[in-house]
Amino acid sequence: MTPYVRDSILATAALKRFGQCELMHIGVDTGGTFTDLLLWDGRRLRAHKVPSTPQDFSEGVLRGIAEILGEPHTGAFDVTLSATVATNALLERKGARTALITTRGFRDVLEIGRQTRPSLYDLLADRPPPLVPRSLRLEVTERIDAGKQVVRPLEVGEVEDVLDRLAEKNVESVAICLLFSFLHPQHERLIARAARRRGLTVSVSSELLAEFREYERTSTTVVNAYVAPIMQGYIRRIDRSLRTMGVRRWRIVQSNGGSLSPKSAGEQAVHTLLSGPAAGVIGALSVARLALAGRRGEAAKVITFDMGGTSTDVSLIAGACAAGSTAGTAGSSRSADAGAGAGAVTTEGSVAGCPVRVPMLDIHTVGAGGGSIAHLDAGGALHVGPRSAGARPGPACYGVGDDVTVTDANLILGRIKPDRFLGGKIKLDAPRAERAMRQLARKLGTSVPAAARSIIRIVGANMERALRLISIERGHDPREFTLVSFGGAGGLHACELAAALHIPRVLIPFNPGVLSAWGGLVCDVVKDYSRTVMLSGGADPQPRIRRVVRELEGQARREMGREAPRGAKLVLSRSLDLRYAGQAFELNVPHAGKLRAAVERFHADHARRYGHSDMNAVVEVVTVRVRATGTMRKPAPQAIPRGAADARRAICAKRSRMTLYDREKLRAGNRLTGPALVVEPFATTWIPKEWRGTIDRWGNVLLEYRKTR
């Protein structure tokens, strides 16, 4: 076992058994700077961190798993991994050479897109180029109408000619997206069979997204085709090594907060684009359900705040259900609270400028992390991020690079103790950080501490805007919420951000630096199914809805029988995308079987979200959705010991400026007073003087604002 591997806060606490077996389960989260791991052996948790390896993320993952298992290792183990491979391939435009086959006359849908512009008043703004150049967007002669009638059959000979042209162009992957194929998929299936016979990686729109909106469906299919070969290569490398280590089963977290088998993740790589952030939200919600549900007799409202080395991810959940709840509604066109702590789910996502219409947790990301680099623009103004120092060379205090980062600023301000970083196994180079900061301070014409405080204020403003976007700008009052902060850098900024938004409480979970890995341990197997139906007026739509629901649930049962581990409990939930006739977008509402109840819920949700509703207007049923959840038994913390004596020993230093608490020695009921630092191996929490904290029965730190005179 390497020196980085250490028992977590809960290593000495009594924990519920994972079933009756001793099978080990490892959660892994790959970040831009560090790869985090948690191992559950049936009795305790062990945490571990290794530097990420951007040149090949599988190297860092496999190294971390080997180290946390230790030598010699015997016995089987499971792994749940959150992967950034598909995301990075899309962001860096390093995906496979991809072609698009579409209906004649529609090859430019991918480039025409919508009329929306990200910068409305920027006359010089350029849209990112499409993933598939026009020379690789090929057409076939076929046509299906909106009534799913075949107007012109597909010509098989033309398909072979198109595939011959793709072979000449050295295409690796092909996206197939024909007009109205979500109603009549037979033509797409014929092309897919022919392409697979030639050894191509194939993405079929009717299999990925059986919904209308041609541009979004095409973009989603193309994104999947672009990243799938990269993801499949990553999976093969991981799988070969894990098999030699003795893995029994391993899975990959997907964007909707559930997990997929490696085979499904390789075929549907677009579902993993928010894998890491989704694991963090699921981990935070599992803690929030224990620590906050039931306060004042109502479900907890939380905002998750995940600040790592490269970026910050935030998400809002308007009601985290109590522990033990089952899954709630499926994805929605507009974000909806999915219940069960599953997080707010949306199907209106965009990654690297590419629309992606698959169910995903509603997460907003900004380029603000511990490694975000401070720099001056041409006019001499100070900026922080979005460029990050990453794992190599890292912040100046890592001893290699010279870029000034947020981590360096926190170190100079005394919020990070150089001898306690990563449990004291890495000693930070404070003099190097100060030299780098002094150069920046000279350019700003200020002192080193003032420059450091400026960096903290600017990165705080960036993160505050993200929190405002998901709360105030969507009609939510932050004063009703608790900020759940995690990630290696989250605790250093959480209280100040909460104060700026008048959020009264901050929850710092146990092991906050590796909480996304915890999310991998507790996530269920989830698959989403949908079909556009477009029903309004005329005949009673309920028979058609019931028929589609039966078909989707039948597909879900068949696939989950192969996907979910033995012993998983299958939970099926239904929802409908509804809109008023003439509207362009929908709201998703639960559907328990009675359409009238769903329509009443739609009116209420429309009034809450937009401030008005029309009880007399025609309501259209646009899309039917089914979410299949394979729920499994999970590790869950029990109460930690109480005791004042340990609290006294936890005070490892008391100076004129602040108190230092050793978190591993804190016990339930201990009270913390700011200004203070709570230090632990993989994270540090800064408690300003206006804040007070308590340790709850599970080892979480609950901080509350107490304004002093």
pLDDT for res 299: 62
* Nearest by Cα to 21 from 65, 68, 76, 74: 76
650: pLDDT confidence band, cut at 50, 70 and 90? low
- For 642-671, what is the HEC assignment? ECHHHHHHHEEEECCCCEEEEHHHCCECCE
> What is the average per-residue pLDDT within 362-375?
92
Query: Cα separation of 622 and 554, whole Å?
Result: 21
Provide CB contacts within 8 A for 210, sequence distance 6+.
182, 185, 530, 531, 532
pLDDT for res 617: 93
Tokens 């009034």 sit on residue: 607
> What is the average per-residue pLDDT within 561-584?
91
Q: Write out the two tokens for 31.
A: 């970040």
Concatenating the DSSP letter of every residue in 344-385 gives: EEES-EEETTEEE-S-EE--EEES-STTEEEEE-TTS-EEEE
Q: What angle do CA 372, 376, 378 make, to 5 degrees?
A: 135
Higher-confidence residue of 648 and 611: namely: 611
The highest-level CATH class for domain 96-228 is alpha beta
**Pair 551, 545: CB distance under 8 Å:** no
Q: Can you say whether residue 708 is alpha, beta or left, with left for phi > 0 and alpha for psi between -120 and 50 degrees?
A: beta
Q: List 103's β-bridge partners, or say none.
A: 140
128: pLDDT confidence band, cut at 50, 70 and 90? confident
Query: How many helices (H) and strands (E) are present in the chain, helices listed first?
Result: 17, 36
pLDDT for res 16: 33
Concatenating the DSSP letter of every residue in 388-421 gives: E-TTTT--GGGTS----BHHHHHHHTTSS-TTTG
Provide CB contacts within 8 A for 188, sequence distance 6+.
176, 177, 178, 181, 204, 205, 206
What pTM value is reported for the model? 0.88
**b/e sequence 236-264, b meaning 16+ C-beta within 10 Å:** ebbbebbeeeebebbbbbbbbbbbbbbeb
CATH 3.30.420 intervals, the chain: 6-89+232-251+266-272
First and final C-alpha spacing in the chain: 51
pLDDT for res 44: 84
β-bridge pairing 24-30 and 77-82: parallel
The highest-level CATH class for domain 525-631 is alpha beta
Each residue's pLDDT tens digit, 88-124: 899 889 999 999 999 999 999 999 988 777 777 887 7
Share of the chain above pLDDT 70, in %: 89
pLDDT greater than 70 at residue 610: yes
Each residue's pLDDT tens digit, 310-368: 889 999 998 654 333 333 333 334 443 333 345 678 888 888 889 999 999 999 989 89
* Nearest by Cα to 658 from 495, 507, 456, 514: 495
pLDDT for res 91: 85
**Pair 506, 483: CB distance under 8 Å:** yes
Q: Write out the two tokens for 423.
A: 């449990």
CATH 3.30.1490 intervals, the chain: 525-631
CATH topology classification for 6-89+232-251+266-272: Nucleotidyltransferase; domain 5 (3.30.420)
Q: How many residues does the chain have?
A: 709
pLDDT for res 329: 33
Q: 253 to each of 265, 346, 452, how far by Cα in Å?
A: 9, 17, 37
Query: Cα separation of 310 and 276, whole Å?
Result: 12
pLDDT for res 538: 67
